[in-house]
Amino acid sequence: MQYLDGKVPGGSLAEKWDRHRMELNLINPANRRRFSIVVVGTGLAGASASASLAEMGYKVKTFCIQDSPRRAHSIAAQGGINAAKNYANDGDSIWRLFMDTIKGGDFRSRESNVYRLAQVSNNIMDQCVAQGVPFAREYGGLLANRSFGGAQVSRTFYARGQTGQQLLLGAYGALSRQIADGQVKMFPRHEMMDLVVAGGRVRGIIARDLINGDLEAHAADAVMLSTGGYSNVFYLSTNAISCNVSAIWQAYKKGAFFANPCFTQIHPTSLPHVSGHQTKLTLMSESLRNDGRVWVPKDSDDKRTANAIPENERDYYLEKKYPSFGNLVPRDVASRNAKQQCDAGKGVGPTGRAVYLDFMEAIKRDGKEVIARKYGNLFDMYRNIIDDDPYETPMMIYPAAHFTMGGLWVDYNLMSNVPGLFVLGEANFSDHGANRLGASALMQCLADGYFIVPNTLAGYLGEAGNSDVGPDHAAFNESIQKVQARIEKLLSINGKRTVEDIHRELGRVMEDHVGVVRNEDGLKTAIEQIQKVRAEFWENVKVAGPADRYRMNLQKAGRLADFLEIGELMAVDALYRKESCGGHLREESESEDGEAIRDDENFCHAAAWEFMGENAEPRLHMEPLVFENVELTQRSYK
Amino acid sequence: MNWYKFLIGSSVGKKMLMAMTGLCLIGFLAVHLLGNFMAFAGAEAFNDYAKKLHSLQPYLTVLNIGLLTVGLVHIIVGIILFFENLKARPIKYNVYKNPGGRTIGSDTMPYTGILILVFVIFHLLKFTFVDKSVTPIYQLMAETFTNPLWVLIYVIAMVVVAVHISHGFWSMFQSFGINHPRHMPLIMKLGLVVTFVFGIGFGILPIYLIIIT
Amino acid sequence: MTTPKTIDITLKVWRQQGPGDRGRFESIPVKDVDIHCSFLEMLDFLNEKLILEDKEPIEFDNDCREGICGTCGAVINGIPHGHGRGMTACELHMRKFNNGDTIVVEPFRARAFKVIQDLMVDRSPLEKIIQAGGYISVNTGGTPDANAIPVAQEKAEEAMDAASCIGCGACVAACPNASAMLFVSAKVSQFALLPQGRLEANSRVLAMLKEMDACGFGNCTNHRVCETVCPKKVSIRHIARFNREFLKAGLVGRLSLDEEEKI
Ligand SMILES: Cc1cc2nc3c(=O)[nH]c(=O)nc-3n(C[C@H](O)[C@H](O)[C@H](O)COP(=O)(O)OP(=O)(O)OC[C@H]3O[C@@H](n4cnc5c(N)ncnc54)[C@H](O)[C@@H]3O)c2cc1C
Ligand code: HEM
Ligand code: HEM
Ligand code: SF4
Ligand code: F3S
Ligand code: FES
């Protein structure tokens, strides 16, 4: 084991970032064009980084899986983005945003990073407004704010229910401008298959042209991975179909440490499971819980329809258990309880994986119009997907894997332990600690891409200089061969089960044992089961070819192969972390009345795992988390 | 010069040309319609009116040349648009439904346009490029419209014109950039009114004439 | 109420192995389709079967499966994204079909959109149009405070209406002329409405128009089908605004020499 150095600069919290920028190397504007940078991913993190670096003069190559950079999954974020502008004059400040984020992350993030995030949050808003992002406005023409995810202040900026989309389109516009200028070469419909590391630094990537299957070598002086989160390991999640772990997983296998893989956020208000062929859990705004009451039937296996169940046979479990917060308990508490109810057989709906979110009382109290004005579009969406009228019968909701706080370990410069490999956005182990606040992910992705990495990259390049290795180097060849062999292997198995089928099985294991509630036995079972499913995959999967044509099935197979590995690492990490913290409850670390107990004595660190070879146990490294400016407190929602 | 070539040659430039010339043509039709109404006042009044009109030289010639130019531009650009749009989807759909929006008018613009052109050619041969020194214009018309076939042709032509305008009228506004949620419903209604006024206004005369003669 | 139910349908689907292939329709019966799954999930379900039967799965573009990324899209029974209104193909549910239906599925057709495979088309011309000017030219950093420039609320809302375009290309697919006007005008309109965007309004509208024409899209003749099928209900009001901007820019607008040269 090794203690990792986060390279946190000296000085007081507030001056660290300024000071650090003074100390970092600079690259002369005229020299920047001699450096080539590969950016993988065009979500908020990747698009903003590509555009910013290209504007500065670097030669950038940018890759994404979708047919257009605009379609990265950041597009789906609905709620909003935080910034410490204090426009609402309600006591917000950089310090408060910092405190809220640290607390929200349950004290499992790096203080200095989080403070910097709060600092640059204001620049992000300025930048996005200048780009023409149509944020909501007050009548006087100034920006509107709302309070989001239980925050005590109104600091969330939003563009209808499409904030992520609008922010991404802003970054995409900036990126498009650089593509037109020839500063960025864009590679859509390309998937990164491998990271090339040689001579102690990153050398480039291997990408696969998804249209014709060609494997391409792209050498670079630095590589930025901004490939998003891996919630799809659960099969059903709020993520898009192409969201994957593969890019960062290949980096992990090339020596980058994977930190806190088990930290996932399960969102309580997604649409429920209604069909066996379901591939996606659509997220619905959390605001629904402001007026909806959550309940299940008192008796398990109650097959009556919701309206047929009389009041006294309904169990409003959240109101009962958490009298002061009621239905507004935090995401993880709501998710955990819903899951427990369903596990106890009280789940409702066709698959028994749903709980009711009932608006009947609110409608009676406020009238249908008021409710329609507040939630009309959500109700419409629900009606379309579920074919049920929430004005007449209670809605059904279910928790869904939503965000992964875990990711590749990075230092204060957002560089992993592999020199030259930067990791941005959801793909890094991030500033969200063990749980992410609503509207903070967008902020973090844009902070990384627009404001942090453009500064810290120069620091690295100034020291390391150009990479002297071209795409014809043996290391690239070796990688291409390895990737080729894996594709051929996948196509040659020719078994009896489809990729989806096996992925569903993995998803069930993950949901049952590595979700919001965990315990030692469950996690051990999970590890065993995942290994079994993985073996089954490599023996009995059937993948459609040929490889020289567009084949979604083949892509999915490759990604599933990696999910089958990260799943195990998540379980290993969860097993190791014997505390309840952030988004998850460890049953061995629970108070008598069901409260989560964090264990600061033993687990106040980021757990970063090193790949030690196929089928070998990964090695654990730690980055101790030091809190000089905040006091560690336990949360309570009773 | 290049600038104008781009402005006029671009897809939106062509659309502007169509709208501008379309507007002129509608203007002409409106005047023509008013003129036609003189026929209801009887043979003398109409012939007098026609005479007066023809005595307005050289203004009339200038106007006619203008009308010809406008007409030609409208037709030529219309035909260019038609072929360009045909080319824009080389492989057609197997099933292609109208989900709403398209109307008979919008679907048939180029076809109704061509029919109007054909009609106008006959129309001019019939009434304009004839010797009117022997038979005055009213009598010429009255004579023509004793033949039910001509009445039928004219009535059909007027329906075609109406169909063309049913789309053309509001479309012109949209092309000029005039589309405001507050006013568009009114423009749409006005389009309907114009359609019927033109259709019925023109169509009624041949019918009137066949009845009274 | 969501009671389980299945239907049997027949898909008459376009199959094309690549841009070089001529392509053809294939009729495939699909049995036991859960009515609660989406159209794309039905295709997944079918593909799983096809794969197990050693047949080629049907390739179709998709990603978010919640109607926001704009990746999916096919012409379903003659209508892009199918007959649901204000929704994408991934939001269309099978309960909107009846037992025994034959469903005809074709790729988006336009000269500017080449078929890549089966139902997938190449929409990169839309990218090129954005690259021609669908942005505000600000670099990262050095921007004024977010509240420095007030924007009238109704303008911000109208800009948001336009900005909600997801770039799916259904408007092109539906337009009898295969025109991209709704897509292009949405971007032009969004920026034309905002003070930040006004600065480059003249060059933007002309440059994007030029690129659109060069890509081989048809001419808009105000058919309005585009707004009917648009999953985000982008209105042709934005096309009108585009036309106004065109007139302004073309007749009286000032452009820098640079910009004029580009056009
Ligand atoms: C439904 C939903 C709602 C959300 N709402 C909010 C919210 O309201 N507020 C908030 O702050 N956060 C929200 N989040 C979280 C937030 O949207 C994400 O964390 C964030 O957008 C991630 O951005 P990213 O740039 O890191 O990655 P992404 O946007 O996921 O982009 C990943 C990119 O990497 C590419 N890529 C991935 N793998 C490869 C590969 N192997 N090769 C090549 N390219 C690859 C993809 O093509 C894509 O371009 C939400 C998330 C979801 C799912
Ligand atoms: C008196 C006769 C005519 C009148 C009053 C008339 C009027 C109009 C008007 C107002 C428009 C709408 C323009 C716009 O959308 O901006 C239009 C469009 C059109 N016209 Fe005519 N027109 C006439 C004759 C013709 C003829 C002879 C043709 C022959 C080809 C023709 C072909 C078209 C076509 C193809 C369009 C659609 C173009 C578009 O909408 O962009 N028209 N017409
Ligand atoms: C019932 C319908 C119509 C009648 C009875 C009618 C009658 C006439 C008459 C009598 C003239 C000749 C005037 C003269 O030279 O003294 C004329 C001219 C003309 N008409 Fe019509 N007309 C009708 C409809 C139309 C329509 C629908 C169009 C166009 C689409 C049209 C286009 C013209 C044109 C272009 C001229 C020539 C004008 C000129 O030389 O200045 N007419 N019409
Ligand atoms: S305007 Fe509508 S139909 Fe056209 S690309 Fe945008 S969202 Fe799709
Ligand atoms: S359908 Fe086509 S013609 Fe114009 S109004 Fe829409 S682009
Ligand atoms: S898959 Fe994203 S819009 Fe349909």
User: What does the alpha-carbon distance between residue B132 and residue A504 come to, in Å, rounded to a whole number?
Assistant: 88
Q: Residue window 173-232, chain C: list those with CB within 8 Å of chain B.
A: 174, 176-179, 181, 206, 209-210, 212-213, 216-229
User: What does the alpha-carbon distance between residue A484 and residue A219 come to, in Å, rounded to a whole number?
Assistant: 18
The mean-pLDDT minimum among A274-278, C184-188, C253-257 falls in C253-257
What 3-state DSSP class applies to A533?
Answer: helix
Q: What percent of chain B has pLDDT over 90?
A: 86
For residue A127, how far is the Cα from the chain centroid?
Answer: 23
What tokens appear for B136 in the block? 């005055």
User: For chain C, what is the mean pLDDT?
Assistant: 95
The whole-model pTM stands at 0.96
The whole-number average pLDDT for the span C177-181 is: 98
Residue A387: predicted pLDDT: 87
Contact A544, C56 (CB under 8 A): yes
Closest CA to A20 of A93, A116, A126, A97: A116
Q: What percent of chain C has pLDDT over 70?
A: 99
Q: Is residue B4 very low, low, confident or very high in pLDDT (cuts 50, 70, 90)?
A: confident
Q: Is residue A634 very low, low, confident or very high in pLDDT (cuts 50, 70, 90)?
A: confident
DSSP E strands: which ranges in chain C?
6-15, 24-34, 75-76, 79-80, 102-106, 114-117, 120-122
User: For chain A, what is the mean pLDDT?
Assistant: 95
What is the tens place of the pLDDT at every residue in A83-133? 999 999 999 999 999 999 999 999 999 999 999 999 999 999 999 999 999
In this model, does residue B3 exceed pLDDT 90? no
In this model, does residue A636 exceed pLDDT 80? no
Q: How many CA atoms lie within 13 A of B145 on its CB side?
A: 23
What is the tens place of the pLDDT at every residue in C3-47? 778 999 999 999 999 999 999 999 999 999 999 999 999 999 999
User: What does the alpha-carbon distance between residue C85 and residue C82 come to, in Å, rounded to a whole number?
Assistant: 8
In this model, does residue C1 exceed pLDDT 60? no
The whole-number average pLDDT for the span B28-41 is: 94
Residue C2: predicted pLDDT: 59
Candidates C16, C104, C183, C223: best to mutate against B (most CBs of B within 10 A) is C223
Q: Is the ipTM of this complex over 0.85?
A: yes
In this model, does residue C259 exceed pLDDT 80? no
What is the tens place of the pLDDT at every residue in C137-158? 999 999 999 999 999 999 999 9
Q: Residue B116: CB within 6 Å of ligand 3?
A: yes
For residues B51 and A572, the model is more confident at: A572
Question: Which of A116, A203, A289, A331 is the catalytic position?
Answer: A331
DSSP output for C194-251: SHHHHTTHHHHHHHHHHHHHHTT--------HHHHH-TT---THHHHHHHHHHHIIII
User: What does the alpha-carbon distance between residue C151 and residue A139 come to, in Å, rounded to a whole number?
Assistant: 9
Residue A359: predicted pLDDT: 95
In this model, does residue A615 exceed pLDDT 90? no
Report CB contact under 8 Å: B88, C241: no
What is the tens place of the pLDDT at every residue in A135-186? 999 999 999 999 887 788 999 999 998 999 999 999 999 999 999 999 999 9
Least CA distance to B7: which residue of chain C? C250
Active site residue A177: no
For residues A378 and B182, the model is more confident at: B182
What is the tens place of the pLDDT at every residue in C36-84? 999 999 999 999 999 999 999 999 999 999 999 999 999 999 999 999 9
For tokens 């039910």, the residue is B148
Burial A192-219 (b: 16+ CB within 10 A, else e): bbbbbbbeebbbbbbbbebbebebbbbb
In this model, does residue B181 exceed pLDDT 60? yes
Closest CA to A116 of A223, A19, A42: A19
In this model, does residue A308 exceed pLDDT 80? yes
Residue A110: predicted pLDDT: 97
Q: Residue B105: CB within 6 Å of ligand 2?
A: no
CB atoms within 10 A of CB A412: 19
* Cis upstream peptide for A69 (omega within 30°): no
In eight-state DSSP terms, residue B93 is P
Burial B182-194 (b: 16+ CB within 10 A, else e): eebeebeeebeeb
- Greatest alpha-carbon pair distance for chain C in Å reads 66
What is the tens place of the pLDDT at every residue in B133-178? 888 899 999 999 999 999 999 999 999 999 999 999 999 999 999 9
**Those residues with Cβ within 8 angstroms of residue A292's Cβ, 6 or more apart along the chain or in another chain:** A327, A357, A358, A359, A362, A395
In ligand 5, the atom with minimum distance to the C-alpha of C225 is: 1
User: What does the alpha-carbon distance between residue C188 and residue C88 come to, in Å, rounded to a whole number?
Assistant: 23
Residue A638: predicted pLDDT: 61
Q: What are the backbone angles phi and psi of residue A146, rounded to the nearest 5°?
A: -140, 165
The kind and range of the H/E element at A355 are strand A355-358
What tokens appear for A106 in the block? 């349950």
Least CA distance to B78: which residue of chain C? C221
In eight-state DSSP terms, residue A348 is -
In eight-state DSSP terms, residue A487 is H
By Cβ distance, the residue of C217, C243, C245 closest to B175 is C243
User: What does the alpha-carbon distance between residue A168 and residue A77 come to, in Å, rounded to a whole number?
Assistant: 10
Helix residue spans in chain B (DSSP H): 2-9, 11-37, 43-54, 59-87, 104-127, 137-144, 148-176, 184-212
Residue type, C42: M
By Cβ distance, the residue of B7, B88, B174 closest to C110 is B88
What is the tens place of the pLDDT at every residue in A109-121? 999 999 999 999 9
User: What does the alpha-carbon distance between residue A53 and residue A70 come to, in Å, rounded to a whole number?
Assistant: 18
What is the tens place of the pLDDT at every residue in C94-132? 999 999 999 999 999 999 999 999 999 999 999 999 999
With a Cβ cut-off of 6 Å, ligand 1 is lined by A 40-46, 63-66, 72-74, 76-81, 163-164, 191-192, 226-229, 238-239, 243-244, 246-247, 283, 402-403, 425-427, 438-442, 445
Residue B1: predicted pLDDT: 53
| Distance from Cα B123 to the centre of ligand 3, integer Å | 7
**Ligand 1, from A39, A50, A61, A64: best to mutate by most atoms within 8 Å of Cβ?**
A64
User: What does the alpha-carbon distance between residue B87 and residue C14 come to, in Å, rounded to a whole number?
Assistant: 21
